[in-house]
């Protein structure tokens, strides 16, 4: 079976985890600090807080803002539900703005139209690995006194249009990453929050571990070496040293992973661009995207097949595919909260999108099988 995405684990990765297993600390040890420092070096951000998963990163990043009740946050409907769910966890009402039709990213113009007196937060999603238009979002945030958290769950290794690394936080309060196995690098489960704000960083660290601190400088009293204080209602969102060991090893391979993904995307585009019923992904700044996903847009009516037909046909040939994403407001829980106005470009995107296999260990031969299967979908001979 050729899945739509999967991890790449090397012998060096395995050895790093085994070494951690044989160490004194399986959690809350030195590998956490080392992984955070390595992520700072890679992205250019000043601070990093690694956490148990990408959803925890979103939740913690929003909770640490301490926004007042009744606040609204604007994000994309074309994202995994966790982006908006994290707002609900914090009492922030999600508002969905439409996407850019070329990239699938949140559209700055549509976002500006959704800003209200209650808007406090913008959460652009770097869809499929391509960075959103952060220059325009940063300008919007300054004009309306808003905070930006970048959902870069797809985009570690990607660059902004200025050539700098996603995650440096020059445009935002914080940037979050996900290290789920289908992401570019993995810690099995895991995530990270990058920031340049020292006070915000301190609060993130406090909330990551139950809101408890042993920092003598922060304690209200100090009766003895056993003493610690719970100073806020936090969570247990810690990453283990085993996961950090894997992350450190994987991070050394990130540039290799990006090069392979770029190569595979170019092969797909060259092979599929001439199909009249399929549109290949658009990369606005060549070489910038780490391409977490290869999302093609199918004109299923023109092809004469439904998306379910296409997915089942590929499945019978041992090829996995997936839909990224069902608009968040389509989910029953969101429908039950309040009526949401459909976002027209997001609706069109949802009707056409289908992700084809893309991961570093996908071989040329396997990709050729996928390409041949996609071409053969056209029973009218137009391939």
pTM over 0.75: yes
How does 82-110 read in b/e, with b if 16+ C-beta sit within 10 Å?
Answer: bbbbbbbebebbbbbbbbbeebbbbbbeb
Per-residue pLDDT at 380 exceeds 70 = no
**What's the pLDDT tens digit per position in 276-321?**
999 999 998 999 999 999 999 999 999 999 999 999 999 999 999 9
Q: Which two tokens stand for residue 343?
A: 């976002």
Locate 334 and state its tokens. 């969101």
Query: Under CATH, which number does the domain 11-251 receive?
Result: 3.40.640.10
pLDDT confidence band for 189 (50 / 70 / 90): very high
Phi, psi dihedral angles at 159 (to 5 degrees):
-125, 155
Please, are residues 42 and 257 in contact by the beta-carbon 8 Å criterion? no
Query: CA 22, CA 27: separation in Å to the nearest integer?
Result: 12
Per-residue pLDDT band at 141 (split at 50, 70, 90): very high
Domain boundaries, the chain: 11-251, 254-375
Q: Which fold has domain 254-375?
A: 3.90.1150
pLDDT-wise least confident of 213-227, 236-250, 251-265: 213-227
Count the helices and strands in the chain (H runs, E runs). Answer: 14, 12
pLDDT in tens, 11-64: 999 999 999 999 999 999 999 999 999 999 999 999 999 999 999 999 999 999
State the pLDDT at residue 382: 45
What's the whole-number mean pLDDT along residues 231-260?
98
- What are the structure tokens assigned to 176, written together? 């979050």
């Amino acid at each position: 079976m050729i899945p739509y995405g999967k991890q790449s684990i090397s012998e060096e990765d395995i050895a790093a985890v085994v070494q951690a297993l044989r160490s004194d600390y399986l959690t809350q040890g030195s590998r956490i600090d080392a992984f955070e420092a390595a992520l700072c070096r890679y992205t250019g951000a000043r601070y990093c807080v690694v956490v148990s998963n990408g959803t925890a990163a979103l939740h913690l990043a929003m909770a640490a803002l301490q926004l007042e009740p009744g606040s609204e946050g604007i994000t994309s409907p074309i994202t995994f539900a966790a982006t908006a769910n994290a707002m609900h966890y914090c009492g922030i009402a999600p508002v969905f703005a439409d996407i850019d039709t070329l990239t699938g990213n949140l559209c700055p113009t549509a976002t500006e139209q959704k800003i209200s007196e209650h808007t406090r937060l913008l959460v652009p999603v770097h869809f499929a690995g391509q960075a959103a238009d952060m220059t325009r979002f940063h300008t919007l945030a300054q004009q309306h006194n808003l905070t930006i958290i970048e959902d870069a769950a797809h985009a570690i290794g990607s660059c902004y249009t200025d050539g700098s690394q996603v995650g440096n936080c020059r445009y935002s309060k914080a940037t979050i990453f996900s290290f789920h196995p289908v992401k570019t690098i993995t810690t099995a489960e895991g995530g990270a929050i990058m920031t340049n704000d020292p006070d915000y960083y301190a609060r993130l660290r406090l909330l990551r571990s139950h809101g408890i601190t042993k920092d003598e400088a922060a304690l209200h009293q100090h009766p003895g070496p056993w003493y610690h204080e719970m100073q806020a209602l936090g969570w247990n969102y810690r990453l283990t040293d085993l996961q950090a060991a894997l992350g450190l090893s994987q991070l050394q391979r990130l540039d290799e992973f990006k090069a392979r993904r770029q190569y595979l995307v170019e092969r797909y585009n060259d092979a599929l661009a001439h199909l009249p019923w399929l549109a290949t992904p658009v990369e606005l700044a060549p070489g910038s995207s780490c391409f977490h996903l290869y999302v093609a847009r199918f004109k299923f009516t023109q092809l004469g097949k439904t998306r379910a037909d296409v997915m089942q046909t590929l499945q019978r040939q041992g090829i996995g595919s997936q839909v990224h994403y069902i608009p968040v407001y389509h989910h029953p829980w969101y429908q039950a909260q309040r009526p949401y106005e459909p976002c027209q470009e997001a609706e069109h995107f949802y009707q056409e999108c289908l992700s084809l296999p893309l991961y570093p260990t996908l071989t040329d031969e396997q990709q050729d099988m996928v390409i041949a299967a996609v071409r053969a979908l056209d029973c009218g001979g137009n391939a």
